[in-house]
Amino acid sequence: MMTPDRIEFPTCPVTSFQHDRVMLAHGEGGRLMRKLLRERIAPAISCGNAAISTGIIENDAATFTVNDGDMAITTDSYVVSPLFFPGGDIGSLAVFGTINDLAVSGADPLWLTLGLILEEGLPFELLDRILLSIGTAAKRCGVSIVSGDTKVVPKGVLDKIFINTTGIGRVRDIGSLGSHRLHEGDAILVSGPIGHHGIAVLAAREQLGLNPAPRSDCAPLHESCRCLHNALGRDLHAMRDATRGGVSAVLHEWSEASSHTMKLRESLVPIAPNIRGACELLGLDPLYVANEGTFVAAVSRSAVTRAIEVLQNLDVSRHATIIGEVTKKQSAPVIVERLLGIWQPLDEPSGAPLPRIC
Amino acid sequence: MMTPDRIEFPTCPVTSFQHDRVMLAHGEGGRLMRKLLRERIAPAISCGNAAISTGIIENDAATFTVNDGDMAITTDSYVVSPLFFPGGDIGSLAVFGTINDLAVSGADPLWLTLGLILEEGLPFELLDRILLSIGTAAKRCGVSIVSGDTKVVPKGVLDKIFINTTGIGRVRDIGSLGSHRLHEGDAILVSGPIGHHGIAVLAAREQLGLNPAPRSDCAPLHESCRCLHNALGRDLHAMRDATRGGVSAVLHEWSEASSHTMKLRESLVPIAPNIRGACELLGLDPLYVANEGTFVAAVSRSAVTRAIEVLQNLDVSRHATIIGEVTKKQSAPVIVERLLGIWQPLDEPSGAPLPRIC
C-alpha cells in the first residue's frame, strides 16, 4: 500500500530557481529544456548552421543523405577529471577522441552526435566553456554535430558532466587497414612524442605543481592519417591512436591479432624531457601512458622514408619517427630494447590504473 | 614543485582484485579490459555474430556498407533509477528508447552503438543481467550493435551505470513526416494507454508498494510505426514517442513548430485505472508522465479509421485510439476538455521534475 511519507519529491523548481546553473527541470523535456537547447547548446555547437540547430532543438532523429559506399562508426564516452587541463578540456577531447578513432580506421569524419549528462547545479559558466570548446573543435575538423541528447541527474549522482560522442565517417579504401595487414619487417612509427596527455591530466588532477605544467597532446589526427594513407596507399598497413594503455596497449593488440612480435627500441621513442621526468617521479613507464593526439602506424619497410616525410610536413605530426618493427613471433608479444641495451618483454597493461584520463 | 604526499594513487589492482565485480583496471585498455569485452560484453550483445563480436573487442571503428539514400541518426543517454523496474530495465530501455526515436522519424533501425560508463565495484551479476537485456532487446528489433566503448570510473563518481546508445536507420520517405506536415483537422492518436513508464519507475524507486506494481510500457515501436507509415503513406503527418514530459511535451512541440493549437479530450485519453489512481495520489497529471512504448501520431482525418485498424492489429498498439485534433491557432498552444466538460489550457511541462525516469 501507499506509504506517502517515504516519497521524496524533488525540490520545487520554482523555489530553487537559479539563473546561473543547471537545474533538474532542464532535463525534463519541457520549456526549460528547450530554452537550454535553444539558447546555450545549439548556438555553441551548430556554428551557425540553422539545419543542425533545428535538428538538435527538435530532438528528433537527424537525417542525412549518403552515397553508395562504406561508412565507419565509433562511439566513446568521456569522463575525464579535471574537466579542464593544460592543452585541452573534456569538450575538445570528446570531439578529437572520436574523430581520431575514425581517422585511424581510414575514414574521413563527417558527423558527430553529442550526448550530455549533466549534474544538477553545474554552473552555466562551466557548461558554456565546454560547449564552446566542442563547437570550436568540431568546426576545426569540418564535422557537423547532427543529433544530441541532454540528461540532468540529481546532485551527487555523477561528478559534474560526462559526454558521449558517436562519430560517422566515410571509409576511403575498405579493408586496406588493420592488424590483419601487419607483415614481418613492417616499420612501426609514432606520429609524435608520447605520454603528454596522461601526465598532463594526472598533474592537473593531483596538483603536482610541475613547472612548466605538462600539456596534453589532445589534437585531431584526421588530416595526418589521411595524408599518410593517400601517400602510402596499401603500403600503410595499420594505424591506431595510442589512448588508454598507451603505445603498449596498441602493440599488444596488434601482436595478438597478427601473431607477430612487436619490437621496440626505447632510445628511438620520442619522449619530452619533462614527461620523462614526471614519469620517473611517478613510477610510470611512458609506453603505458595515454595519448590523445598521437598514433602508431605500421608501414612497409620500403615506404618508411616517404611516411616520415609526409607526417613531418604536418604540424600535428612534425616529430613523427620510427620506433621499432614487426618481427616473426618470439617468446613475448612485445619486446623492447631498454636504454642500457637489454632486451625485455614489455608486459601488457593491466594494473596501475589511471582512471578518468579520458 | 612536486608534492608527492598529495598524490592519491588508486588502489593496487592486485591486492584489490575481486572476481565478482567491475574494477578500475577493467577500463584501462589492457588485458582486463579485453577480458571484460571478450567474456562478458561481446557474447551478450553480439548474439553470436562473430564480425560484430570482433568489432567490439578490437575497439576500432566499425565499418558498414550503405546504399544511396537517406539515413537517420539519433543519440540518447540512459540514467534511469532503479536499474530494474517492472516491465523493463536500463538495458532494454537503452535499446528500445533509441529504436523508437528512429521509428517515429520514419526510419527502419539498422545499427546501434553502445557506450557503457560503469562505477567501480558494480557487481558482474548486475552487469551481466543488463548486457543480456541489451542483447535480447537488440535481437528482438533486428538491429546489430556495431561499436562500443566501456569506461570505468572510481566508486562514487557515478551511481552504478549509465548507458548511451546511438542509432542509425534508413529513412523510408524523406520529408514525409514532421511537425511541418501538421494540418488543421488532423486527428491526433495515441498508440496505447499513457503514463505507465513514469509511474512504474517512480513506484519502484520510491517503493510505493502499489499492488499490483505498475508496469512500464517499455517496448519497441518500429514495427507499428512502419506499418502505420506504409498503410497511410502521406496521410501520416507526424509521429513522436511521448517520453520525457509525456503527451503534453509532444503536443507543445508540435504546436510551437506548426503554429496550430492541439485540442484534446481527456475522456478519450486511455489511462489504466491503476495509473490514474497512482497519479491522483501523487498529484501528477498523466498527460505529463513519461512513456517508453507509446507514441502520438497526427493523421489526415480521412485516414483515421485505417490508422486505428492498422495499429490495433499489432500487439504493442492494440489500444490505439483518437484523443484529439489539430485546430487553427487559438489563445493556448494546447487545450484540453477535462472530464467535467470544461476546456482548459494545458501548460507546457516545466516544473515538477521526475529525474532519472529514463
Phi, psi dihedral angles at A245 (to 5 degrees): 85, -10
CB contact under 8 A, A66 and B71: yes
C-alpha cell at B258: 506548426
Q: Is residue A116 part of a domain?
A: yes
Q: Is A310 helix (H, G, I), strand (E, B) or coil?
A: helix
Instruction: Tell me: pLDDT of B136 over 70.
Output: yes
Q: Which of B134, B155, B171 is the last residue of a domain?
A: B171
| B135-142 contact pairs (CB < 8 A, 24+) | B135/B44, B135/B45, B135/B46, B135/B47, B136/B92, B137/B91, B137/B92, B137/B95, B137/B96, B137/B220, B138/B45, B138/B47, B138/B95, B138/B112, B139/B47, B140/B220, B141/B95, B141/B96, B141/B99, B141/B109, B141/B220, B141/B222, B142/B109
Q: What pLDDT band is residue A165 in, cutting at 50, 70 and 90? A: very high
Q: Is residue B304 part of a domain?
A: yes
The pLDDT value given to residue A348:
87
C-alpha cell at B77: 543517454
Q: Is residue B46 part of a domain?
A: no
Q: What is the pLDDT of residues A167-214, one digit of tens each?
A: 999 999 888 899 999 999 999 999 999 999 999 999 999 999 898 899
Do residue B189 and residue B304 come from a single domain? yes
The pLDDT value given to residue B30:
83
Residue bearing cell 612501426: A188
Percentage of chain A beyond pLDDT 70 is 90
* Interface predicted TM-score (ipTM): 0.91
Instruction: Tell me: pLDDT of B91 over 80.
Output: yes
Q: What is the pLDDT of residues B146-156, one digit of tens each?
A: 999 999 999 99
Q: What is the pLDDT of residues A32-81, one digit of tens each?
A: 888 898 889 988 887 655 555 555 555 567 777 788 888 999 999 999 99
The pLDDT value given to residue B352:
54
Task: Give, as one character, the DSSP assignment of residue B25.
Answer: G
Do residue A142 and residue A201 come from a single domain? no
From A7, A30, A355, residue closest to B10, measured CB to CB: A355
In B, minimum Cα distance to A248 occurs at B30
Do residue B116 and residue B251 come from a single domain? no
CB contact under 8 A, A1 and B211: yes
∠ CA A93-B3-A283, nearest 5°, is 70
- Total domain count, chain B: 2
Q: Is residue A49 part of a domain?
A: no
Residue from B166, B173, B205, B225 whose CB has the most chain A CBs within 10 Å, to mutate: B166
Do residue A90 and residue A213 come from a single domain? no
Q: Is the dihedral of CA A328, A334, A337, A342 positive or negative?
A: negative
The alpha carbons of chain A give a radius of gyration, in whole angstroms, of 22
Instruction: Tell me: pLDDT of A332 over 90.
Output: yes
Here the CATH number for the domain that contains residue B193 is 3.90.650.10
Do residue B66 and residue B124 come from a single domain? yes
Do residue A238 and residue A92 come from a single domain? no
Low-confidence winner among A40-49, A331-340, B28-37, B279-288 (lowest mean pLDDT): A40-49
> CA of A28, closest CA in chain B: separation in Å?
6
From A79, A120, A240, residue closest to B153, measured CB to CB: A79
The pLDDT value given to residue A67:
82
Q: Is residue A356 part of a domain?
A: no
The pLDDT value given to residue A91:
98
Do residue A162 and residue A195 come from a single domain? no
CA A1 to chain centre: 50
Instruction: Tell me: pLDDT of B353 over 90.
Output: no
C-alpha cell at B339: 472530464
Q: Is residue B53 part of a domain?
A: no
The pLDDT value given to residue A11:
45
In B, minimum Cα distance to A242 occurs at B29
Q: Which of B115, B143, B171 is the last residue of a domain?
A: B171
CA A124 to chain centre: 24
Instruction: Tell me: pLDDT of B265 over 90.
Output: yes
> Average pLDDT in the B120-130 region?
96
Do residue A117 and residue A186 come from a single domain? no
Phi, psi dihedral angles at A163 (to 5 degrees): -130, 135
Q: Which of A150, A171, A192 is the last residue of a domain?
A: A171
Q: What pLDDT band is residue B58 in, cutting at 50, 70 and 90? A: low
Do residue B138 and residue B246 come from a single domain? no
Q: Which residue has the higher pLDDT, B5 or B159?
A: B159
Give the CB-side neighbour count of residue A220, counting CA atoms within 13 A: 22
Residues B320-357 as b or e (16 or more Cβ within 10 Å = b): bbbbbbbeeeeebbbbbbeeeeeeeebbbbbbbbbbbb
CB contact under 8 A, A77 and B253: no
> Average pLDDT in the B81-101 region?
98
Between strands B295-299 and B236-241, the pairing is antiparallel
The pLDDT value given to residue A2:
38
Phi, psi dihedral angles at A234 (to 5 degrees): -75, 0
Low-confidence winner among A41-45, A61-65, B270-274, B284-288 (lowest mean pLDDT): A61-65
- Residues on chain B touching A169 (C-beta within 8 angstroms): 61
Instruction: Tell me: pLDDT of B14 over 60.
Output: no
Do residue B243 and residue B334 come from a single domain? yes
The pLDDT value given to residue B34:
85
Domain that holds residue B89: 59-171
Q: Which residue has the higher pLDDT, B352 or B325?
A: B325
Do residue B337 and residue B199 come from a single domain? yes
CA dihedral A118, A120, A122, A123 (to 10 degrees): 130
Here the CATH number for the domain that contains residue A66 is 3.30.1330.10
Q: Is A325 helix (H, G, I), strand (E, B) or coil?
A: strand
The pLDDT value given to residue B57:
56
The pLDDT value given to residue A63:
76
Q: Which residue has the higher pLDDT, A348 or B78?
A: B78
∠ CA B115-B118-B123, nearest 5°, is 130
**Cα(A310)–Cα(A306) distance, rounded to whole angstroms?**
6
Q: Is residue A351 part of a domain?
A: no
The pLDDT value given to residue A7:
47
From A30, A70, A281, residue closest to B348, measured CB to CB: A30
The pLDDT value given to residue A49:
59
Report yes or no: A137 and B336 within 8 Å, Cβ to Cβ: no
The pLDDT value given to residue B67:
82
How much is the pTM? 0.92
From A64, A149, A349, residue closest to B28, measured CB to CB: A349
Query: If we measure between CA atoms, which residue out of A255, A164, A256, A72 comes closest to residue B38?
Result: A256
Across chain B, mean pLDDT equals 90
Do residue A164 and residue A183 come from a single domain? no
Report yes or no: B151 and B184 within 8 Å, Cβ to Cβ: no
Q: Is residue B52 part of a domain?
A: no
